[in-house]
Chain A
Amino acid sequence: MIIYLLCFILFLVGLYGVLTKRNLIKIILSLSIMEYSANLFLVLFGYKRDALFPILEKGKEIQSMVDPLPQALVLTSIVIELGITAMLVALAVRLYQKYKTFDITKIRRLSG
């Protein structure tokens, strides 16, 4: 149970970073932390202590296996997050070219 709590704290760390940091790069890093915690959460559901990988071999009886589906899901979501992070970094670079700053409080042409 404590490990789920730690995972939730990791999520909150990321959320805190997104909400309070003013630097664009730090916001992107915080988002990554948040997404990692979501992935960790998924993997934890499939994990079982002392369990084996779920591959059936001849002449070998496996008592308990880990659930492979969350791992497959996490692989997919890592790829998506890679794309989104690359996109965000590209946007941050273009924003720096336009505004000459990474400070989000100075990037404020839109309002209302």
Chain B
Amino acid sequence: MIVPYFIIIPLLAAFLITLISSDDDRWAIVISILAVIILGILSVIGFISVSKEAIVYSMGGWKIPYTVCLVLDPFSSFMLFIIPLIGLAALLYSISYIRHLSKSWKYYALFMLLITGMNGVVITGDLFNLFIFMEVALFAAYSLVAYGGKAEEFEASFKYAVMGSISSSLILIGIGLTYSITSTLTLAKIAEVLPGQNPVVVNWIGAIFLAGFGLKAAIMPFHAWLPDAHSSAPAPISSMLSGVLIKALGIYVLIRLFYNVFGLPKIFSDIFLVLGGISIICASLLAISQWDFKRLLAYSSISQIGFILLALGIGTRMAVFGAIFHILNHAIFKSLLFFNAGTVEMALGTRDLRKMGKLGKVLPITSTTSMIATLSVSGLPPFNGFFSKMIIIIAAIQAGFFQSAIVAVIGSVLTLGYFLKVQRHGFHGEKEFNEITNVPSTGMRTAMIILAILCVCSSVLIIPGIKDVVFDPVIDTIINKTEYIQLVLGR
């Protein structure tokens, strides 16, 4: 019965923070960090206990088709592990970074609301419930993007909110259409009823959902909000948005809907392949021309999401392994890079790569960890990014998608290119700095060191013995189309 606590704990933490904090943020920090640690422990316990049998929790004690159910299977508990992992690092980083902006508990309450929404999206087994938790997460995200209170941040937040509302309307229409042809909103029940329906209507529903959730995932034609929102937000929030939010709200839901519910029709796997390829190449080319550090990282996020989508389009067992491994790896190294960008911005007061210079002496930890993250995102061994990208490319070749494999290789080379630009101008430039105004605090340094160590350590997940334990149950739930239905509705 641990399932509802994934939603209760962060929601309770948000409530308690607003209740007991007056104008001090000390208790808010303690409560939020405690809540995130408990969530992390719970997710590990959940992962171990669901490796044999998934847990289904029906709210209110009603039977499945009449209730909202929560489903904890290996894939959702894998995502539930990533959220508090990045959340903990972001909170450690936030302590002094947010005091630098304004000393307030409101940030932590909104942060907990963000985690509530994402946990809810990941754990729910009901289509409309998913929509509600998605709106909760997005509502917190809009406010957190505008948290700094500068003109650009309001602009980015407004843009994000308008785009998000359009996609939410599309999703609502898609939910209505689904309900009209299946008479149910439970995902497993929909999956059971859907194959007998008119394929034209099913494809239309798929297209509407692809547009709606594709916008949340920032796939290439729907990406316009991401570079503004992710570059304007405070650094820990950028890392949460780029590291977790676009995956929990976008990629996770796409996998759940198109693999488990729709059963991956051929037309959608082709669309995934094409959109993934476009995202990889175009976003990489756009990233090369950027001089704003965080904006470059935001474009890089779109390109890495393209890798995940490409792997999902291939759809073989190995490709899905590459996709979920890349979800974990991208969360780790992109959060780390946003932390680096935030530290540099705090110390030098600029995000422009041309105004940075030799930072190795004044910011040694930032410089070193950014080098590790760069090597990781560009896909050099022995860092984690190398393995997931290699698996995706090998899977593409094995399945006979040679164009996709070439696109992925070109994308990796371009990634290396624009991150070499970051290193060359941003951290090893000519300009010398002897003194900086704001030295990064212990919390910020700890967060960066933890993620840098994880960049190297998560490579061990590739070793067959460990991979069998960690990834095989996750891949099984994604690949086996009938198993999800049986898990929820009973055999």
Q: Mark A32-45, 1 if CB is under 8 A from B, else 0.
A: 00110111011001
Instruction: Among A31, A80, A95, A110, point to the contact of B132 (Cβ < 8 A).
Output: A80
| Partner of A42 from B158, B172, B232, B286 at Cβ < 8 Å | B172
CB of B176 within 8 Å of the partner chain: yes
A22 to B146, CA, bound (A): 21
Inter-subunit contact A41/B173 (CB<8 Å) = yes
Q: Which of A73-98 contact B (CB under 8 A)?
A: 73, 76-77, 80, 83-84, 87-88, 91-92, 94-95, 98
Q: Kindly report which residue of chain B lies nearest to residue A94, judged by CB atoms.
A: B154
Of B128, B158, B175, B176, the residue contacting A91 (CB under 8 A) is: B158
Known: A45-B176, A45-B179, A45-B180. A88 touches B169 (CB 8 A): no
A110 to B176, CA, bound (A): 36
Contact (Cβ within 8 A) A15 B176: no
Q: Which of A84, A107, A109 contacts B165 (CB 8 A)?
A: A84
Q: Give 1 or 0 for each of B121-157: 1 = CB within 8 Å of chain A CB.
A: 0000000100110010001001100100001101111
B157: nearest residue on chain A (CB-CB)? A91
What are the residues of chain B within 8 A of A11 when measuring CB–CB?
169, 173
Q: Report yes or no: A35 in contact with B165, Cβ–Cβ below 8 A.
A: yes
A81 CA to B286 CA, complexed, in Å = 34
Interface size class of A (residues with CB under 8 A): 35 or more
Residue of A nearest to B227 (CB): A112
Q: Which residue of A lies closest to B152 (CB)?
A: A109
Residues A31 and B176 in contact, CB atoms below 8 Å apart: no
Asked whether any CB of chain A lies closer than 8 Å to the CB of B162, the reply is yes
Interface centre among B139, B151, B289 (most CB of A within 10 A): B151
Task: Find out whether the CB atom of A42 lies under 8 angstroms from the CB atom of B165.
Answer: no
Chain A positions 9-43 with a Cβ under 8 Å from a chain B Cβ: 11, 14-15, 18, 24, 27, 31, 34-35, 37-39, 41-42
Judged by a CB distance under 8 angstroms, whether B482 is at the interface is no
A41-B176, A80-B135, A88-B162 are known contacts. Are A110 and B169 too (CB-CB below 8 A)? no
Cα–Cα, bound, A99→B161 (Å): 18
Specify which of B168, B179, B228, B286 is in contact with A110 (CB 8 Å cutoff).
Answer: B228
CA–CA, A34 and B168, complex, Å: 10
**Which residues of chain B have C-beta atoms less than 8 A from A41's C-beta?**
172-173, 176
Whether, in the assembled complex, A62 has its beta carbon less than 8 Å from a beta carbon of chain B, the answer is no
In the bound complex, do residue B161 and residue A38 qualify as a contact, i.e. CB atoms below 8 Å apart? no
Instruction: Tell me if B166 is interfacial: C-beta within 8 Å of chain A.
Output: yes
Q: Which residues of chain A have C-beta atoms less than 8 A from B154's C-beta?
A: 91, 94-95, 98
Asked if A87 and B143 sit within 8 Å, CB to CB, the answer is yes
CA distance A9 to B158 in the complex (A): 26
A84–B135 touching, CB < 8 Å: yes
List the A residue with the shortest CB-CB distance to B156. A110
Task: Kindly provide the distance from the CB of B283 to the nearest chain A CB, expressed in whole angstroms.
Answer: 13
Q: How far apart are the CA atoms of A42 and B128 in the complex, in Å?
A: 12
| B358 at interface, CB cutoff 8 A | no
Contact partners of A14 in chain B: CB under 8 A: 169
A residues in contact with B169, CB < 8 Å: 11, 14, 31, 34-35, 37-38
Is B179 a contact partner of A70 (Cβ separation < 8 A)? yes
A92/B172 contact (C-beta < 8 A), A70-B179, A84-B135, A84-B165 known: no
Chain B residues 32-52 with CB under 8 Å of chain A are none
Contact B135 A73 (CB under 8 A): no
Min CB gap B171→A, angstroms:
9
A69 CB-CB contact with B under 8 Å: yes
Q: How far is the CA of A46 from the CA of B162 in the complex (A)?
A: 29
Cβ contacts under 8 Å, A98 to chain B: 151, 154
26 pairs of residues in contact across A and B, judged by CB atoms under 8 Å: A34-B165, A34-B166, A35-B165, A35-B172, A37-B169, A38-B169, A38-B173, A45-B176, A70-B176, A73-B179, A76-B132, A77-B131, A83-B139, A84-B165, A87-B142, A88-B161, A92-B158, A94-B154, A95-B155, A95-B158, A98-B151, A98-B154, A107-B155, A110-B155, A112-B227, A112-B292
What are the 5 tightest A-B residue pairs by CB atom distance, in nearest-first order? A98-B151, A38-B172, A42-B176, A45-B180, A38-B169
